[in-house]
Structure 1
């Protein structure tokens, strides 16, 4: 994995990197301009910044500095490469057409990792990344920009980050790469009087001193350019303290080492402004071209309006069609009729209707002239960019595999992309095409646009009705999941001389898969288990029921808690959902010997309370259901129970609640609550603990199930 030691850099960079790595709060941003491979550079001397390499090196430094868990949100698993020793600490959530960056960042935040890594900030991901940092997560991200230092904040505002969230930005690490002097034709030079005057001002700002400098004549080895190789230039900015390592000072250090010339140092800002101007000029040119295209479309619409006035009869017919559409509530049937009517009105023999999805993608909802197997297929169509008026469309529609005309048996000639706009919002897109005519007339275009306006309102209405039905179905599923969960939780505990048991379970609205139980085993032994299934709703409840059944069966077959969990893991791998897993603590109490034997499979560490002290029950173990049992490291531990002991088992829902101030109720707070109520009766202990949690949470939403199981040793 890349490290900063792998880069040629000045010693002044090392202590600042150490400070950045040690800073456990806020958002760290690595910035630089890395043009896409097919995009022309504004100037031949403008090198890719190497931002991604620095970003990966900083990830490695942070992971090596005690980060126990990290989540990466990226488009590719290759965005972050970590050593095998660190791989178990890092999980990757892929962003794409199905799950956008904002959705993936929210999912990663829900895991509460020590470090959230976002491989790209843009209009979709930047607001979500800053929201995660505002919630208390440590975030590392990178941004493609020519800005650096305090100017980055303005760029972030353009990306949609609210001003009130910019306060979580802690560090900005800007990087660019410059060509270095050729060592074969390099020679020392003395500054001219004009250069010396400019250097004096620079040395005062950088607290430096006059040094020797160099230039290069050009030789065969550098093709006469005087430059051979390149070096990274850094600018480190601390949001609260300002510039920690200005770019100009860093470049002066490189010039002192004869890596850069005086012109490279003193004229860099001028060159950088020129490069930025070139980039902005290209953007302005593209904007002008887009505006010209819009003007041309406006002329076409004006012509279409004149034709439309001559088609009053067609409009009356269109009105009747629209009224019929608004009475339909079946979304699939409605869009099928929309396809058919669009073809009839325009003379098109190929029609596709796309429905917008919340994650900025779309789905094929109906087709006419294409295969019905394409319906419900998700496609990457950015509906916000299609405009508000029909535009010519050529080629094959998104989601329909392109074929040569000789293979398909037809050639797509005329085409229109017609946005479906309802109440100012794009609800979908309709693409009409003809294999016969070479163009749609302005009158046909205007007629289809008028029809699309009515169809959009009907589709929006039917979609809202369908969404309400889906919501009611989801609520019903949640109710069933709660019933499943409550049906497998014990209502009473077995009577065990010398021991007492109490528990509380408070499900969240999105029901999870918390599980606890106390059951008798052969020889007077007692099994104690608590578990937390990944996921929500019915899948989590069913997985919880499967886990409980397997564990009870294996517990009566195996005496060793470790052997029980290994067997359960293998069975979950064979019978359970491969996308789910469960954390488990399973212990066996021998009341006669006052001995607890247990194994912990990735679950939160239980706590043993005795005489005002707290002991954490250790033990190695990972979650069940993910890895083959032969790959799992799972230890079995023992401890002696004494009269007055309280063994407290809990799920992470108790530590993952947030107060109205946004502060998390962490394990330290929870431990103090346990100690405060340690002298109460077991039921009162549970009641008082949940009362303290409710008081801390206030009106804030509960995101996860909360489960508490207490074992009391009476004598």
Structure 2
């Protein structure tokens, strides 16, 4: 009996090992798919930014965006519909052609042919067909991998093998629908992963849709005003609503935007239970292109931070190469600084890329300026010897940290004098221990220096106190 029990245990162990191996393979595949999706989102955002910066025609933006969506999900055809004030979906852009309808359609037509007849319109009423239903309900649609062949006696292949559609919305307001028809590999069908990626991209496409509507409905001056308002909304959406709460330290961030929106942003990224990444950045340029460039950088950081928490130098190098590959021809760049806080060990690792230094205020009110080497991101390829240094230190009780953008230190007055790092350090030395109060005191000092001189750049700062 004991030998049979032994054989049984061995067999059970073998089955268990096989099960664990299959689970691990599935986990690896899911991780690879998630990584690929993140890369697709970042690449899409880069194409989006480039299309806005390279062309003043919003219709051209939409065509390029449709092409980028098609590339991201490997679709043979992508159609973008915008919802107008009359609750009519109108075709705004298309990439790739829809399949041809059969020359002869039997009385009993296939599901595929009927679906193509519903989609192949430049004007679709709300609730009509797949596209109209998605716009009405706000629910994603996916059909593929099923028998959609014609009912005709010829048995000829139907025009649609796979289709998916997702709604586009901004702040819960329906903007339109994106519809993808057929994979480029006609033997394949769209998957739930493709649908999730398309849904992820839809919010970015919606921004382009709003731009098209703004440009078509308003005069030049109105367009400038509306673009400014939209840029502010985009910038606002990039900033976290609140700072993370902690028993060991307090954080407060403040953004004082200029009249012309720039690319300032900050972020708090919970890496895991023990690590928090605090980021501040300033993208070159103004308006929507700067905001979208910032959004692209933010997406890369949030998508990849877990992989790089032990190697900030490589984190910045990979981000730099990614930005350079897609923006070198446009001259776009971004300065950035980050503090990786280890809540367990009470340590901080600081790195920067062409950004202002970190100001550490010690318990005796002495100010230390920490400025590790590192160029702005996107200016040079890594092969030119781009390197980034970091500085790690123990975060002692009573110590405060200040991160800021150059809109503060470079604020001018009527005499053309900058506020400067010396004035900032002097005011920071006497500022309150409470981060929120200190932030407001610093911005008040900057405003007093500028007096009546107009603000030309965003002023953003993050204060952390222990």
TM-score (norm 2): 0.51
Q: What residue is the counterpart of 2:441 in the other structure?
A: 688
Give the C-alpha shift of residue 584 in structure 1.
0.8
Q: What residue is the counterpart of 2:262 in the other structure?
A: 512
Q: What residue is the counterpart of 1:707 in the other structure?
A: 460
Give the C-alpha shift of residue 492 in structure 1.
0.6
Q: What residue is the counterpart of 1:254 in the other structure?
A: none
Separation of aligned partners in 2, 1:496 and 1:639: 19
1:622 counterpart (375, 379, 390): 375
Q: What residue is the counterpart of 2:246 in the other structure?
A: 496
Separation of aligned partners in 2, 1:528 and 1:522: 13
Q: Larger RCO: Structure 1 or Structure 2 (Cα < 8 Å, ≥ 6 residues apart)?
A: 2
Separation of aligned partners in 1, 2:434 and 2:372: 29
Q: What residue is the counterpart of 1:593 in the other structure?
A: 345
Separation of aligned partners in 2, 1:496 and 1:519: 14
Q: How does 1:202-213 map to 2 (within 5 A)?
A: none
**CA-to-partner distance for each residue in 1:25-84, whole Å, 9 max, x for gaps?**
xxxxxxxxxxxxxxxxxxxxxxxxxxxxxxxxxxxxxxxxxxxxxxxxxxxxxxxxxxxx
Q: Does 1:606 align with 2:358?
A: yes
**CA-to-partner distance for each residue in 1:540-596, whole Å, 9 max, x for gaps?**
010011111111112122122212111211221234473210011112111221111
Q: What residue is the counterpart of 1:642 in the other structure?
A: 396
Q: What residue is the counterpart of 1:562 in the other structure?
A: 313
Q: What residue is the counterpart of 1:476 in the other structure?
A: 226
Give the C-alpha shift of residue 668 in structure 1.
0.5
Q: Secondary structure at the match of 2:452?
A: coil
Separation of aligned partners in 2, 1:470 and 1:651: 32
Q: Which runs of 5+ in 2 are unaligned?
A: 1-217
Q: What residue is the counterpart of 2:420 in the other structure?
A: 666
Q: Secondary structure at the match of 2:251?
A: strand
Q: What residue is the counterpart of 2:187 in the other structure?
A: none
**CA-to-partner distance for each residue in 1:412-459, whole Å, 9 max, x for gaps?**
xxxxxxxxxxxxxxxxxxxxxxxxxxxxxxxxxxxxxxxxxxxxxxxx
Q: Does 1:542 align with 2:296?
A: no
Give the C-alpha shift of residue 618 in structure 1.
2.5
Q: What residue is the counterpart of 1:526 in the other structure?
A: 276
Q: How does 1:20-169 map to 2 (within 5 A)?
A: none
**CA-to-partner distance for each residue in 1:650-703, whole Å, 9 max, x for gaps?**
0000011122333221111111111121x3311111111111212221221001
Cα pair distance change 1:522/1:680, threshold 3 Å: closer
User: Do the aligned partners of 1:499 and 1:711 also contact (CA within 8 Å) in 2?
Assistant: yes
Q: Which runs of 5+ in 1 are unaligned?
A: 1-467
Give the C-alpha shift of residue 629 in structure 1.
2.2
Q: What residue is the counterpart of 1:553 in the other structure?
A: 303
User: Do the aligned partners of 2:253 and 2:460 also contact (CA within 8 Å) in 1?
Assistant: yes
Give the C-alpha shift of residue 637 in structure 1.
2.0
User: Do the aligned partners of 1:651 and 1:707 also contact (CA within 8 Å) in 2?
Assistant: yes
Separation of aligned partners in 2, 1:502 and 1:646: 11
TM-score (norm 1): 0.33
Q: Please provide the CA RMSD for this pair.
A: 1.8
User: Do the aligned partners of 1:551 and 1:565 also contact (CA within 8 Å) in 2?
Assistant: no
Separation of aligned partners in 2, 1:524 and 1:654: 31
Separation of aligned partners in 2, 1:508 and 1:634: 30
Separation of aligned partners in 1, 2:407 and 2:228: 18
Separation of aligned partners in 1, 2:418 and 2:221: 30
Q: Secondary structure at the match of 1:658?
A: coil
**CA-to-partner distance for each residue in 1:199-236, whole Å, 9 max, x for gaps?**
xxxxxxxxxxxxxxxxxxxxxxxxxxxxxxxxxxxxxx
User: Do the aligned partners of 2:356 and 2:371 also contact (CA within 8 Å) in 1?
Assistant: no
Separation of aligned partners in 1, 2:259 and 2:382: 34
**CA-to-partner distance for each residue in 1:282-337, whole Å, 9 max, x for gaps?**
xxxxxxxxxxxxxxxxxxxxxxxxxxxxxxxxxxxxxxxxxxxxxxxxxxxxxxxx
Give the C-alpha shift of residue 529 in structure 1.
0.7
Q: How does 1:148-547 map to 2 (within 5 A)?
A: 469-547=219-297
Number of equivalences = 246
Separation of aligned partners in 1, 2:221 and 2:324: 32
